[in-house]
Structure formats: structure tokens, C-alpha cells
Structure 1
Amino acid sequence: MNHFRDRVDSLPLTIKLALSADVKAISEALQASGDLSVLTIGSGGSLVTAGLLARTIEGLHGNVARSLTPLEFIAAPTLGNGKHVWLISAEGTNPDILAALDAAVKSEASSITVLCNREASMLVEAARDYGSTVLLYETDSQKDGFLATHTLLLSATLICRAAGQIAGSPVPPRWVDPVLRLGRSAATDVLSRSTVIIAFDPLLVDAARLIETNFWEAALINVEAVDFRNFAHGRHLWAAKRGGELGLIALLTDQTRVLWADIAGELPAEVAKAELDFGAPREFLPIDGLMSAMELTGQAGEILGVDPGRPGVPDFGRRIYHVPSLLLQSQGVRGMSPSLRKAAARRRLVGISGLAEEWADAEQAFRERGSSMRFHGLVLDYDGTVVRSSERRQPPRDAVLAGLIRFLDEGGRLAFATGRGDSVGAMLRKVLPERHWPEILVGYYNGGLCIRLDEAVDKSSIDEDVGLSRLAEVIEQCAPSCGISVRRQRVQLCLTAVDGRPLGPVRDFVLKILEENGLRLRTYVSGHSIDVLAPGVDKENVARRLADAVNTADAKFLRIGDSGGYPGNDFALLKEDIGLSVDRVSDDPNGCWNLLPPGVKGPDGLVAYLDRINSEDGSFAIDLMTL
């Protein structure tokens, strides 16, 4: 019984599963990769999937995407900062991918997405605890065996399907492309050689990498994958010196057939040559290539008398696979410090980061200044700060509520600044004691309406801005064809991209419309929308209204938000007094610092700040020196 052959013969069942699965979540994750640089991380067969994913993202959005092993990623501790990091794993149990997740969190990636094929795994559990996006697609009863087969093909097909959906291409109703197989004579000649080179068309790089991975992991043949032209840059010498030991398999399409013919015609006769010709390039060509790569692996096993599905794993192999060294190394990585966050913000804005010593001095000065001040109120952003953006329809977590209620019980004055309407007020009234409602100020619509929590939102009391209405009319005419959803308020427009598309192009589109119509309106970005504000509207209005309420000369307020870097919607709020971020910072050395430990962000960061507040006689201080 050949276990690998059984796996290969049952692959059509996995293709059928992949073609019927709902790919909405993975499509949205692919769309979300459009605004950022992207890193895709995996080991073994999952590295092949990571490479396919990176090239798919580049093809969809034109941004840079790069596939890495976990060690490559962890070797540069801050590499993930500000990027969309994808973690690919079939089982989600190996220590290397867990180490990569730990490093992604500590480097403070803008977004972390896990693509896994097993629900009951440490990776899925840990990723959910961190608030990462988890894409879970299991293979039903089909199992991999020693080499990645069903899980790899399932994930790869789902990626291609999701990309096709984004591009507007139809899903094929059934799989019609035949798996390519070498003829018996050619296969025996080539695969009996001690060394094999896989020369490939770039469109078939994933198939070539899978052949290389499988042949090494199953100890079949010494093999290297190289594209046609890179073969000509030195690899040909092996054919000259050891031609009788060399087999060369070409993976080609119509676009490289002539290129391959020019190379093949020059090779010494003793080199064994074979080719798999995939014909015309097409949308699902990578999947055809992967299936043919698995078929070729099976052929090699049959010729060499090895079952690639059960090649026999030595005890030391199991030990080195499970060694926790990389996980321990990642746990020892310091991650993003406050000064590194500022340097990264400066680099993103103007291309240079400044000297580390300059940021360290500014950080120390900010800590000392903030720790020495007495504050008369606390102003909090809501989405991304009090609640995770992905949980904005849910109540704040218990630790956040405990910190807020303690602050209120000690006499603190509290205000919330949100881009949303009364959905925030309704939630706060559910979870905060009614006795405190009259003391709490809520700034709705990014400070366009500031009222007490015990007061009802009356939209008719807000004057509608004429320029904003004109902008809304122009955008609404274009919105359906541009994939933009528009929600009007009297003093702001809230724009979101349909189906999770990147927000960057939406903001560019809005700025163009503003310029064309001579409108001078401010535009800010939140974690899930673009907000266009009427003149005189911003979150700083909330602090001004709180100053009126506390009736204290020269009142100072502690401000906490998550989007302090321009054009984030907390930019104006966090640049005054002492502004603390639970995520992104500005490049201003005098304000808007994130002093949290590496990887701590969002509501967890808010709790860390609240725990360091000491209230006394109607004012409070915060200890920023021990963070």
C-alpha cells in the first residue's frame, strides 16, 4: 500500500471542497492587505503556500509582499512593524510558527492574519487571544500524511478563488484541467539521476518549490529549483562537468516554450531532459502546477521504491522538529520600544528615522513631564482604545470596565470621543453605573455633538454643513462604481470600502473630490473608515467641553487613543497636553507617545495606563516612569 499515492488520488475531493467553500473571509483579508507591505510566513509546505499568497497579493494590489521562514522573520525583530503579517500553518502546532506569532505581536504588526487547517491548535488559540484574524479551513476527512498534500492544496485553491472573486473572475464549476504526468520512460531516465534541476517558468514557481520541498523532505533526490534564465547564470556548469548524473525537468507554458527550447538545444546529450508543458497561462495555473508537482513526487517515489507519504522519520528528526529554541529566542526579543515606535513613525512620514539617542532623550523628557502633572479629566477614544475595532459592537471587556468604574468612583471626570453616534452612548449606559452618567461627557461624530451620557442624542440640534452635503452628493454619484459605502451625518461623512477593500484608495479618492470642488474639509482615518469632518469639528472639541464642565483655570487632561499618527482620527486629540497612544503614534517628539510594553495594545494598553492613575482631591496623576 502506497500512502502517498492514496493521498494524491484523493486530491479531487479536496478540490471539490475548496470550490464549494465560502471564501468571503479570506477575500476580505486579501483586500485588507492592499494598504500595507505584506509578509507571509510558513515552513516546509506552508512556505510554498506563503509564496503563492505573497505573489497573489502583489498581483491584486501592486504592493510589495514577501514570503519568509519563521527564522528569517524573527532574525529581524522589528521587521513586522506596520505591516500585514500572514502566518500559514496546516496543523498550527509547530514551535516555529508559534514563535513567529509571538514576534509579529512584539513587532506590532498593523494586522496579523492566521491561515490554518486545524481548529484545535495552539496557533489558532493564541492568535484569537491576541485579537488576530483567524481563517480556518479544515479538510474534512482527508489527511496529509508525512508531506503536505490536502491542506496545502485546500489553502492554495482558496487563495486563488478569493483572488479571482476580488478580480471579478467566475469560479470554474468543476475542475477540468488534467494533471500532467511524465511518460514512464522519461520519468525513469530523469528521476534515476542523482541530481535533478527543476527549471521553471515564473508562473509555475510554486509547483517548482513544492517539488524541491517534497524531494528533500522525502529524501528522494538531490534537487534544486531555478528559473530558466537563472539556470543560464552558472547552473549550466553542472551539466558540463557531471552531465551523466544530471536530470533536468522543465515546467513551462506557452510564454516560455521558445526560451526553454533555446536552452535545451544547447545542453550536452548525456543530460536527461523532460518537460511538463502547461500550455496557455490561466487563472488557476498555480493549482494545476501544484497538483502536477504532487503527481511528480509520487512518480519519483514509485521509481525509487520509496513511499513519500511514509519515508521513515528518524528519532533525531522528531527532536529537532520540536526543539523550542526559536520560540525561546522570540520570547527573549525586546520588540518595539517607545523610541522605536517614534522612529518608525518619522520614517514612514519623511523617510528618515532620526538618531536613537534623540528619541531616547525625548522619551525621558515626556515621561518626566507627564508624571509631574496633575490632570483634571480623562478623554478616551472609543473604537480601538476602549474596545478592539473588531469588537466595536460588543461591550468593553471586564478589565477595562473595572478600571473606568474605579476611576469614576475616585472622583475622576471622564469623556469619550468617538466617530460614531448614539450606539456608543447606548452601550456605555448598559455597562457603566447610572450614578455616574451625569458626570460623563460623550463627544459623538468626532466631537460634532458633545453631551452628557444621560442626555439623548438629538440630531436635529446639529447644524448641517453645506460644503459637506455638497461633497456627499458628489461622492454618492460615484460610490457604487468605486466600491465605497457612504453614511451621512450632519457634521461628518463616514466612508467605508465595500467588502473590506483597502482604505488608502478611498482617502485618495476623497482628497481628489475635495480638490476638484474647492472644499477645505479635514479627512481622518480610523481603523475601519474614512471620516470627512465639517469645519470646526474634531475630537479636541470634547476636551474643550470637558474644560467648561470642570470649571478649573488652566485645566489639563490626559488623552488616550489608538490613531495618533497623521492622518489618524486621534491626531488632533493626542497632540495636546499629555497624549498617550495604545497603538500608532505621531512623529512629534513632544507628544503622542506609546509607552506600553511590546505587543500590548488596544484595550489591554488602556488597562495598563488606568492601573497607573492615582486620584486625589478631584485631580489625578499618572506614573509614566514605571511603564
Structure 2
Amino acid sequence: MARPYSSEMAKLAETFTWAKTADIGPLRLALRTAGLSPLRAIGSGGSLTAAHMLASLHQHFTGRLASVATPLEAAEEPLESGVATWLLSAGGGNIDIMAAAKALILREPRQLGVLCGRADSPLADLCRNHSFVDLLLYPPPAGKDGFLATNSLLGFSALLNRAYATEFGADADWDEAIDRLQMLLPESAPAVQVWREATVPLWPRTTTVVLYGPSTRVGAIDLESKFTEAALGNLQLADYRNFAHGRHHWFAKRAETSAVLAFVTDADRALAERTLALIPTEVPQARIDLSGGHSATALSSLLAALRITEWAGIARGIDPGRPGVPEFGRKLYNLPLPRSHRGASRPRLSPREAAAISRKAGVAPSRLAAMGELDRWRDALGAFRARLHEARFAAVVLDYDGTIVDTRHRFEPASPEMIAELARLATAGARIAVATGRGGSVRRDLQSRLPSSLWSQILVGYYNGAEVAPLVDDSAPDRATTVCAALRPLADALRRQPELAQCARQEDRPFQITLEAVRVMPESRLWDLAQQVILMTGVSDVSVTRSSHSIDIVAAGVSKLNVIEHLRKDIGDGPILTIGDRGRWPGNDYALLREPFSLGVDELSVDPATCWHLGEPGQRGPAVTLDYLSMLEPHDGYLQFGKEALQ
């Protein structure tokens, strides 16, 4: 049974205290990734307001475009995979958010973030089965909301404000927001009482026009949501300038039944006052004055919306927390989303095949069929898979970050399941090699998990193949931090570049220079800065590649292919299976995944002859690597894919 709205409001202070102290480390990490691209925030009901808050914060702090969508829109409308896609749901169980999540997982966007308030929800369970999803679980202390979103909404909004401000170097904004909210949370606060008295003239009128500025839009949106869902009255929304484009005409015809509620901040005060002064005097006005920067006014407007909903309910004899749900409403709530027709034209393709072609071609199979291109891609896939099934592999070479371990947790050892598969294959006599851009940390991690009896038959190529040694060799790699003579002028020039000195960490090794961003920065920017320095110094005999977290500059002759050359000395010319996550140029697995028998787990080259991602739909990264390895069957020291594998 729904709870009284007043009982929900009584817990707001507790919720805000929780939002101030909760561990936002995972949320910050996810927002760091989101900050590199445009963002789409998806929610329904009260979570739609939280989605608007997320979009507003993203644009404000990153300068990148952000939009809002409902689950129906998200499930049906195509979107470029590079857009960060976020789902917000307090309960994680409604039919709409589940349908959107399933559709989006199958599209495998570059980032899929899910902010959910229930760890034991169907949404959380679904996301756990797709490890590339950034699942962010933040159950608010007040528990499940009543009929309207209250504590979950304030909690999510405060967490997002805190995480964005902290991650993007605006701690003062969050400190100011804390101060403002602390003063407004008590129902008896002087400012809150001023708001309440100001809104009294609104309630005899049937229509309220809500005017707002950029930072208070979220409060206006939430008011409209709550007034509609609880049947408290008619609301119209407009920012101060859009109101001037025809919406003001409402008062010319219906002034006697209308009122104005205006959110006024320091940033828009002059415009607000001039606008309000021109509204006919017979139209009652209520001003909600808010002070502070973007975070402070956004959160204050949301808190004001929650309060105003309560006062409107009291005045109009409706408890917003339990307005009563009609039977037809319950039936409407449980209607399923329409079945998607996006993949209808996929003749004779299994789900795994359809996903593989879509990833490789960059176009959905249905569109390829319409263009007459599907047969070509299907034939290429069939030929590649046939070669895989026929081959008897004497060795497997794997990238490490993004392939064996999740890039988001790259300083943690490989999972027990991954280690078990590597040990199974090595025990069967197959040679295993790891080609990584990292150094000794990989050796230590693998030694800590794999049985020492297997170390001698596992090869590691450190620093992108600059040094190759058996896992058992504790002297490898070279720990020197001085680059070779060929790279020294470039290393010095990179350190002198002003922007790189501020935004990147530089690590020098004998044959490799690594640049890693220390703040939110697009890979393309770091790449351009490195390339500019290379051009200016005139250094030509180097290779530059991108990994999932850095840019590596290596001396001539350094390549992950060096690992394969070392293996060839022992195994001859037999087929070698290579697996990596960055097969698209200039990814640091590009050369490795140009080999004839190469499987990708994320980014792919455009070559139809090799470097295919054949994982299950909605999977990428180490989960796909694990899938590949589990399908390999040992036979007399060789490895083969079973007949039914990769179908």
C-alpha cells in the first residue's frame, strides 16, 4: 500500500546525508568514461526527472551534447554506438526499463551505464550477465518510494551532482550545494516558509504556468510529472524566453483561471523580473527564489518541486503519495513495449552470426540485406569460421588489458574463471602467450594466480613486444626508466609540451614511451598532441598505438608480433590463434589481429578476412575471451574449436 506523501518527505534529510557520504568511486569512474562522448539519459516516471538531471549535468560539466529519452524511444530509435547511454531506475523492475535495457545491451554501445536503486532487481540481474555494462547500485536508505518518486530522486540527483563536481574539478560547486540544501531541508526553514506563503494564491486557479531558467529546468519538469501523476492540476512549462514565443497568449484568453510559478536564480534574475512585470496583474504570481551556482540551484529547484507538490495536495485535498490507482491504470502500466522490427530481415542468421556481421560491417544485417550487401558479409563470415574450425592451433596469443582483464579493473588480477581456462589449456600442452603494453605488473598478477608448474610454458611479451620472456623469468622485464637513444629526444620533447605536462602521465621504458591521461580527455586529443610532438621533433622511426587506457610510442622493431616470432622458434609454422580487444587501427592489437586466425572481443578492423568478434550478442571484453577459450578442445598438444562452436 502506498505511504502518505508526508512520510516520504520526512526522510529527505536522511537521504541527502547518505548522498553526501556514499562511496561514489564507481560512479565517478563511469562518468569519467561518459565524459568522453555525448550522452543519452533514459528513464520513466520519476526516474525521467533524474535522467534530465543527468543530461543537464553532463552538458554543464563536459560541454558535450546530452539528451533525454523514455524507454520506448530508446528501444526503437537508432543511435550511434559511440554515444554513452545511461538507464536510471529506482526499482529496476518495471516492464519499460527492462525492455529498453535488453534492446540496448544487444546494440553494445561504447558505454552502457545503469544507475539502479535495488541490488536484487531484475534490471541488476540482467546487467550482471553482461559484464561490459557499468552497473551502479545505490539503494537509498529510505527504501522504496511510495506512489511518487521522492527520496530515490533526490538521492540519485545529489549523487550525480556530487560525482560530476568532484570528477570534473568543481568541488566548490558541491560544497555550495551542500550549504544551500542544508538550509532548505527542514520544513520549518525560513526560506521554505516564504515559498509556501508565496504559493497560496496559486491553488484556487486550475492552470499553473511554470517559468524557469537553464539550471532550474529539472525542478519544473518534476513539478509537471508529479502534478500529472497525482492529478493535482494542469501545468504548463516554459523557459523565460520560450514563454515569449507565443506561450504568453494563454493569459490573453484564460487569465482568470491561471497562475504563474517562477523559479528565479541569480543567473536569470534580471530576465525573470522583467518577464514577470509584463504578465497581467490579475494573474497570481509565486516566486521561488534560489541562490548559488548550477548544482545548488538545480538541487534546490528539485527540493522546491517536492515541497510544492505536498502543499498543492493539501490545498486540493489529494495525498500525492496515495492518490489511488484505477484498474485501467494498472493494466496500462503492465502493457509491454512493441516488439522491435529492427532485426526482422536476417534470413538464415543465428543471433551470434547477426551480431558478428553487425559489429564487423558497422551496419545492421537488415540494412545490409536492403542494400544487397548481406550475402557478401555472410560469405566472409562463413569462410573465416570454416578456417577456424579446420585449424589445429599450437598456441594462443592474447592481449591482456581489455582481453584477459576488464580495463575498468585492470589493476586487479584475472578472474578465477579466466585463470582456470588458461591453466586448462596449458596443462593440455598448448602454448599460451600474453602480449601486453604493460610491464612487470602482468607477470606478478599471472604468477599470483597460475600454478608455478605452468610458468615455464607461458610466454609474455612486455611493453608491446619490446621484451619477450617466459613467465617464470623474474628478471623480466627490464626495469630501467631511461629510454633508448632513438627515443630520448622524443621523450624530452613530450615532457616539455605544456598541455601534456598538465593532463598526462608519462612513463619511459627502454623501448617504449607511455602517455596516460590523468583527467577526462578524449583519446583523440591525447593522440593529436603526441603526433604533433613527433612531427615537430622529426622523429620518424617510431610506431604509435592506442590501448584502452593509454597511448604507446615504441621504437622501430617493437611489435606484439615479436611474441609470435618467439613462439615460431618452438612450434614452427603451425596456426596460432590471436585474441585482442583493439583490432581497429591505430589500436595496439592491430598488428596482432591482422594474423589469419584472429578473434576480436571489442574493436575490429575492417578486413573481412580476419579479426571477427564472434561472441554472444550483448557481450564484449573478457567475457568473450572466456567464451572463446572454453570452446577450445585439446587434442595431442593442439587446440581446436568443436564443430558446434561459434555458431
Shorter chain as denominator, the TM-score bin is 0.7 to 0.9
Q: Which residue does 1:544 correspond to in 2? A: 565
Shift of 1:306: 1.1
Aligned AA (1:109): P
Shift of 1:114: 2.6
Distance 1:298 1:556 in 2: 71
Mapped contact 2:195–2:288 kept (Cα < 8 A):
no
Mapped contact 1:345–1:585 kept (Cα < 8 A):
no
**Cα deviation code 1:25-77 (max 9, x no counterpart):** 4333222212223222221221111111122122222222222222211113x
Q: Which moved more, 1:390-399 or 1:222-231?
A: 390-399
Mapped contact 1:181–1:292 kept (Cα < 8 A):
no
Q: Which residue does 2:548 correspond to in 1? A: 527
Mapped contact 2:460–2:470 kept (Cα < 8 A):
yes
Distance 2:287 2:503 in 1: 44
Structure 2 vs 1, CA of residues 345 and 527 (structure 1 numbering), >3 Å: closer, same or farther? farther
SS of 2:303's partner is: helix
**Cα deviation code 1:177-230 (max 9, x no counterpart):** 655667667634433333333232222110111101111111111223232333
SS of 2:559's partner is: coil
Structure 2 vs 1, CA of residues 421 and 626 (structure 1 numbering), >3 Å: closer, same or farther? closer
Structure 1 residue 174 corresponds to structure 2 residue 179: yes
Q: Which moved more, 1:386-395 or 1:533-542?
A: 386-395
SS of 2:179's partner is: coil
Q: Which residue does 2:576 correspond to in 1? A: 557
Q: Which residue does 1:148 correspond to in 2? A: 149
Q: Which moved more, 1:459-468 or 1:236-245?
A: 459-468
**Cα deviation code 1:440-487 (max 9, x no counterpart):** 322121111112233334344999422434444444565896242333
Q: Which residue does 2:205 correspond to in 1? A: 193
Mapped contact 2:398–2:404 kept (Cα < 8 A):
yes
**Cα deviation code 1:494-549 (max 9, x no counterpart):** 33333676544433333333233333433322223332222221212212222222
Structure 1 residue 599 corresponds to structure 2 residue 618: yes
Q: Which residue does 1:486 correspond to in 2? A: 506
Structure 1 residue 276 corresponds to structure 2 residue 281: no
Q: Which moved more, 1:268-277 or 1:513-522?
A: 268-277
Structure 2 vs 1, CA of residues 8 and 486 (structure 1 numbering), >3 Å: closer, same or farther? same
Distance 2:618 2:219 in 1: 36
Aligned AA (1:45): G
Mapped contact 1:492–1:534 kept (Cα < 8 A):
yes
Aligned AA (1:550): I
Structure 2 vs 1, CA of residues 467 and 55 (structure 1 numbering), >3 Å: closer, same or farther? farther
2:260 pairs with one of 241, 244, 248 = 248
Counterpart mapping for 1:584-595 below 5 A: 584-595=603-614
SS of 1:104's partner is: helix
The alignment's TM-score, normalised by the length of structure 1, stands at: 0.86
Q: Which residue does 2:515 correspond to in 1? A: 495
Q: Which residue does 2:538 correspond to in 1? A: 518
Structure 2 vs 1, CA of residues 548 and 264 (structure 1 numbering), >3 Å: closer, same or farther? same
Distance 2:18 2:623 in 1: 39
Mapped contact 2:590–2:605 kept (Cα < 8 A):
yes
Structure 1 residue 384 corresponds to structure 2 residue 402: yes
Structure 2 vs 1, CA of residues 186 and 339 (structure 1 numbering), >3 Å: closer, same or farther? same
Distance 2:72 2:505 in 1: 41
Q: Which residue does 1:206 correspond to in 2? A: 218
Aligned AA (1:465): C
Aligned AA (2:543): R
Q: Which residue does 2:316 correspond to in 1? A: 304
Distance 2:21 2:447 in 1: 44
Structure 2 vs 1, CA of residues 392 and 410 (structure 1 numbering), >3 Å: closer, same or farther? same
Q: Which residue does 1:571 correspond to in 2? A: 590
Q: Which residue does 1:73 correspond to in 2? A: 74
Structure 2 vs 1, CA of residues 128 and 530 (structure 1 numbering), >3 Å: closer, same or farther? farther
Structure 2 vs 1, CA of residues 610 and 184 (structure 1 numbering), >3 Å: closer, same or farther? closer
**Cα deviation code 1:229-251 (max 9, x no counterpart):** 33344434543444433333232
SS of 2:606's partner is: coil
**Cα deviation code 1:96-135 (max 9, x no counterpart):** 3333333332111222333233344333344344333343
Distance 2:118 2:639 in 1: 48
Structure 2 vs 1, CA of residues 408 and 28 (structure 1 numbering), >3 Å: closer, same or farther? closer
1:450 pairs with one of 457, 468, 477 = 468
Q: Which residue does 2:100 correspond to in 1? A: 100
Distance 2:259 2:11 in 1: 29
Structure 2 vs 1, CA of residues 282 and 399 (structure 1 numbering), >3 Å: closer, same or farther? closer
Mapped contact 1:182–1:296 kept (Cα < 8 A):
no
Distance 1:345 1:457 in 2: 47
Counterpart mapping for 1:63-142 below 5 A: 63-76=64-77, 79=79, 81-131=81-131, 132-141=133-142
SS of 2:35's partner is: helix
Two-structure CA RMSD over aligned residues (Å) = 3.6
Shift of 1:160: 1.8
Mapped contact 2:209–2:237 kept (Cα < 8 A):
yes
Mapped contact 2:223–2:305 kept (Cα < 8 A):
yes
Structure 2 vs 1, CA of residues 184 and 114 (structure 1 numbering), >3 Å: closer, same or farther? closer
Q: Which residue does 2:599 correspond to in 1? A: 580
Give the number of the structure with larger relative contact order, counting CA–CA contacts within 8 Å between residues 6 or more apart: 1
SS of 1:466's partner is: coil
Structure 2 vs 1, CA of residues 101 and 331 (structure 1 numbering), >3 Å: closer, same or farther? farther
Q: Which moved more, 1:441-450 or 1:254-263?
A: 254-263
The alignment's TM-score, normalised by the length of structure 2, stands at: 0.84
Mapped contact 1:371–1:624 kept (Cα < 8 A):
no
Which blocks of at least 5 consecutive residues in structure 1 are unaligned? Answer: 347-352
Structure 2 vs 1, CA of residues 625 and 120 (structure 1 numbering), >3 Å: closer, same or farther? closer
Aligned AA (1:325): P
Q: Which residue does 1:339 correspond to in 2? A: 357
Distance 1:240 1:355 in 2: 59
Structure 2 vs 1, CA of residues 284 and 354 (structure 1 numbering), >3 Å: closer, same or farther? farther
Mapped contact 1:485–1:497 kept (Cα < 8 A):
yes
Shift of 1:294: 1.2
Aligned AA (2:117): N
Structure 2 vs 1, CA of residues 594 and 458 (structure 1 numbering), >3 Å: closer, same or farther? closer
Q: Which moved more, 1:490-499 or 1:379-388?
A: 490-499
Mapped contact 1:14–1:142 kept (Cα < 8 A):
no
SS of 1:571's partner is: coil
Aligned AA (2:323): P
SS of 1:293's partner is: helix
Distance 2:61 2:99 in 1: 29
Q: Which moved more, 1:251-260 or 1:22-31?
A: 251-260
Mapped contact 2:440–2:476 kept (Cα < 8 A):
no
Mapped contact 1:203–1:286 kept (Cα < 8 A):
yes
Structure 2 vs 1, CA of residues 90 and 247 (structure 1 numbering), >3 Å: closer, same or farther? same
**Cα deviation code 1:602-626 (max 9, x no counterpart):** 2331233234445556655546985
Distance 2:304 2:20 in 1: 18
Distance 1:345 1:492 in 2: 36
SS of 1:456's partner is: coil
Distance 1:410 1:5 in 2: 66
Mapped contact 2:208–2:258 kept (Cα < 8 A):
yes
Q: Which residue does 2:299 correspond to in 1? A: 287
Mapped contact 1:182–1:275 kept (Cα < 8 A):
no
Distance 1:98 1:203 in 2: 30
Structure 2 vs 1, CA of residues 541 and 624 (structure 1 numbering), >3 Å: closer, same or farther? farther
